Structure 1
Amino acid sequence: MRKQHEWYDEHDAERWVAEPVKRPGRTAFARDRARVLHSAALRRLAAKTQVVTAGSDDFVRNRLTHSLEVAQIGRELAATLGCDPDIVDAACLSHDLGHPPFGHNGERALDQVAAEIGGFEGNAQTLRLLTRLESKTFDAEGRSVGLNLSRATLDAATKYPWPRRPDERKFGVYDDDLAVFTWLRQGVGERRCLEAQVMDFADDVAYSVHDVEDGIVAHHIDLGAVDAEPAPYWETVRQMYLPEATDAELDEGWARLKALNYWPRAAFDDSRQALGALKDVTSQLIGRFATAAEQTTHAVFGRSRLIRYEADLVVPDGTRTEIGLLKGVGMFHVLNSPERQARRATQRELLTELVEALWKTAPRHLDVPFRSDFAEATDDDARLRVIVDQVASLTDPSALAWHAHLVEGQI
């Protein structure tokens, strides 16, 4: 029976630990969004790397600004499809909460450190944070259940709805979080709900256009260079995003982008006019991609309200190609910058050394909540997971400061 939440039922609105309804006129999903928005974990994203190291430039995006932009795109697309906007907004705000210092580079380092205890994955860490590490609600035994979000919102934030397995690098849950994962995924197998698909697509759209915008403003990306010699860029596109794409498909996708009347034609010169024109490109591309997905999805599933497992997001192949091209152009400069490669290696070494130093001295230098987790851990595997949780919670600057204190002895 559907009630209070209109198109969503009480199963969707259920929480892992039941709570009294304090404001009857407010939906469970509006409460979810507010909990994420006010969380410490979201605030910490302001000092975590997106692509360019956090704090190294006043203009480029960090993980917090990226998450806010993803939420805006996701919320508007959700509204056009009929999904609850607060569910998608909360999922978009949550989608990067589990990322450690130094972005995907830090994720790689912690995955190697944690290889024998189930690895590390930013999306699995997000679930752990939302359901355990971020303090808000506790069960009858006094154990933290994190923000205690509704089932529908947790499901929408689950990008990879399966545990770790040998043939896949991405996964959404660690073994010791399977109880809450099983609860939120009751009866749906490994299919993603529509809201999760919207969140994932909004993430793709945001970083495809914004990374190119940041790269152009920083003078790292010259679109004319892509026109002059596309082959190296297409190689990156295939390596990272579209492994099956042919040269002809990529050439055609790039030609479509270049033919847009708002596509930048002049070299970027840092003027207000150039900045305004570039911002218009960003806005127009976001609208292009979101409209294509919305119209195609409604064409397939009809124009009725679409939620949860009643539909899938349908993105045209051409749109996926254009998004992949932009992501590849942005990533090309990250992968092929010797300075960035050297910095990334140093960052991985730093996090590895920090885990080792904390392990040797634990629990002395852990924050109080993690010190308690360490004391309650029943074996060395569980204790190492606590150390990894602690390091993953740090921002880029705090990871540098902790390393300087514990490893280099500078503080």
Structure 2
Amino acid sequence: MARYTEHDLARWAPEPPADPQRSAFERDRARVLHSAALRGLATKTQVITPADHAVLSNARTRLTHSLECAQIGREMGKALGRDPDLVETACLAHDLGHPPFGHNGEAALDAFAAPCGGFNANAQNLRVLTRLEAKVLTEDGRSAGLNLTRATLDAVCKYPWAAPTTPDPDVPRAAPGEPYCAYAEDLGVFRWIREGAPDRVPSFEAQIMDWADDIAYSVHDLEDALTAGLVTPAALRDPEERLAICRLTQRWHAPDADLHELAEIFARLIAEPIWPERIDEGLAGRAAIKRLTSTLIGRFCRAAQEATREAYGCRPHPAGEEPAGRYAAALVVPRATRLECSLLKGVTGYYVMSRTDHRARQARQRELLTELGDMILRGAPETLDPALRPAFEHAADDAARLRVVVDQLASLTDATAMAWHRRLSAAHGARRAVC
């Protein structure tokens, strides 16, 4: 198993000596598991929205997705000689910054937050972990968030560069439209995390987390869609349906892939004997879906592990042998495997996210979040959670005050965002009636 240096194990805010019975990464894992932000993912949309839960009552949420991603990442990290607690913690934490309503909510908040530099769920992750979660304070009384180790925070940074509006020319910045891991106001801790790291290169653990996320996302969203009856094996065997899915996959997930290449890979994947002929109701049908998803997860994990081992010899190391450092190796995923994973995302995109009723619902969600943000901003600081009011009151300018409101919006769940909107709308209506 990999050995980590004092530099890797350092924390942003110094802490008293820890219990020697637990490793630093075990402590990190416990801090994320007990965090309020992780609990909040239980009612945040993954793909199937709360309105669809009448069709599928046990659909994935951001929390269950994160737990499944963590299991995949832990085993893959262990197989490749990395610390399994470190990789698992990164997987558990990778979606903590997601706002209500999934990626749709992220788009709404990015537009709303334009005057303060925009919004990105990955940058919000860093903010949650290093500022917004209440666990450790610095010597001058500021929040250090969960105060995780440098290696764990770096493993969450799958896009290790800052927002495109970042003024510091010495910090790697995102291109317009590219995701990023740090807002301009969080550059201090971002520089500390990336100290000694090569520019724009995610750590080996971050790459494992990212692939585990892709696997969990693509396979389990397919499972939910099959279980809900939104996708059928018969539809996937139809050449015309597959071509439509390939076109959407190319647009959304694989712009560098040729349509003919996608069609060939999809045809080979669907021809595998792992696919049930049809999905029967009852236990037999559910078992068939589970066999499919388990086989797909194993297929994607093994392909990456075998390709990486062939390239780097990354496997659990004998005692005394120095393993590769956090940047000395990269996860290798064969192109065909990546495209298979992209095609599964395309299946869900075609049959779930492209539905007319789904798009109409998303438009209403974006409108709701924008209206809620305006109402919170007009009534702040009283409209904010008590923990966020001091940050708003002491903010240096309008942009900083807007960032606090964005922090509030991002912390809400789907249900609480709708409840806050109803409450503040009613209060606003009452004030207008009095006037």
Q: Report the TM-score, using the length of structure 2 for normalisation.
A: 0.91
Cα deviations across residues 185-243 of structure 1 (Å, max 9, x unaligned)? Answer: 01321100010000000000001111111001111112322332122111110111111
1: CA distance, partners of 2:146 / 2:176: 32
Give the alignment partner of residue 243 of structure 2, picking from 228, 231, 243: 231
Q: Which residue of 2 aligns with 1:345?
A: 363
Give the alignment partner of residue 307 of structure 2, picking from 296, 302, 312: 296
2: CA distance, partners of 1:303 / 1:123: 28
Q: Which residue of 2 aligns with 1:201?
A: 211
Give the alignment partner of residue 378 of structure 2, picking from 360, 370, 378: 360
1:226 partner letter:
L
Q: Which residue of 1 aligns with 2:171?
A: none
Cα shift at 1:55: 6.8
2: CA distance, partners of 1:258 / 1:264: 10
SS at structure 1 position matched to 2:367: helix
Which runs of no fewer than 5 residues in structure 2 stay unpaired? Answer: 165-174, 316-322, 431-435
Q: Which residue of 1 aligns with 2:144?
A: 145
2: CA distance, partners of 1:205 / 1:306: 24
Give the alignment of 1:155-304 within 5 angstroms.
Answer: 155-165=154-164, 166-188=175-197, 189-228=199-238, 229=240, 230-266=242-278, 268-304=279-315
SS at structure 1 position matched to 2:370: helix
Cα deviations across residues 244-295 of structure 1 (Å, max 9, x unaligned)? Answer: 21233212212332232222222x2322101001001101110010011001
Q: Which residue of 2 aligns with 1:400?
A: 418
SS at structure 2 position matched to 1:147: coil
Cα shift at 1:6: 6.2
Assess, with a 3 A threshold, how the Cα gap between structure 1 residues 280 and 307 changes in structure 2: closer, same or farther.
farther
RMSD: 1.5
Q: Report the TM-score, using the length of structure 1 for normalisation.
A: 0.96
Give the alignment partner of residue 381 of structure 1, picking from 377, 382, 399: 399
Deviating more after overlay: 166-175 vs 339-348:
166-175
2:300 partner letter:
F
1: CA distance, partners of 2:255 / 2:68: 27
Cα shift at 1:334: 3.1
1:93 partner letter:
L
1:59 aligns with 2:69: no
1:111 partner letter:
D
Contact 2:45 2:61 in 1 (8 A): yes
Aligned length: 406
Contact 1:54 1:62 in 2 (8 A): no
2:7 partner letter:
H
Give the alignment of 1:6-155 within 5 angstroms.
Answer: 7-54=3-50, 56-57=52-53, 58-155=57-154
Assess, with a 3 A threshold, how the Cα gap between structure 1 residues 78 and 290 changes in structure 2: closer, same or farther.
same
- Structure 1 runs of 4+ aligned residues shifted over 6 Å read none
Deviating more after overlay: 95-104 vs 51-60:
51-60
Which runs of no fewer than 5 residues in structure 1 stay unpaired? Answer: none
2: CA distance, partners of 1:90 / 1:320: 24
2: CA distance, partners of 1:54 / 1:33: 29
SS at structure 1 position matched to 2:275: coil
Contact 1:15 1:149 in 2 (8 A): yes
Cα deviations across residues 148-183 of structure 1 (Å, max 9, x unaligned)? Answer: 000000000012111122523311100000000000
Give the alignment partner of residue 369 of structure 1, picking from 372, 377, 387: 387
1: CA distance, partners of 2:152 / 2:314: 23
Contact 1:77 1:294 in 2 (8 A): yes
2: CA distance, partners of 1:321 / 1:56: 28
2: CA distance, partners of 1:200 / 1:282: 19
2: CA distance, partners of 1:265 / 1:56: 25
2: CA distance, partners of 1:13 / 1:363: 37
Deviating more after overlay: 348-357 vs 367-376:
367-376
2: CA distance, partners of 1:232 / 1:164: 35
2: CA distance, partners of 1:307 / 1:236: 38
Assess, with a 3 A threshold, how the Cα gap between structure 1 residues 55 and 26 changes in structure 2: closer, same or farther.
farther
1: CA distance, partners of 2:280 / 2:137: 54
2: CA distance, partners of 1:70 / 1:55: 24
SS at structure 1 position matched to 2:373: helix
2: CA distance, partners of 1:169 / 1:298: 30
1: CA distance, partners of 2:189 / 2:332: 29
2:294 partner letter:
S
2: CA distance, partners of 1:210 / 1:306: 32
1:26 partner letter:
R
Contact 1:355 1:388 in 2 (8 A): yes
Cα shift at 1:372: 1.4
SS at structure 2 position matched to 1:407: helix
Cα shift at 1:303: 4.1
Cα shift at 1:306: 4.4
Contact 2:44 2:61 in 1 (8 A): yes
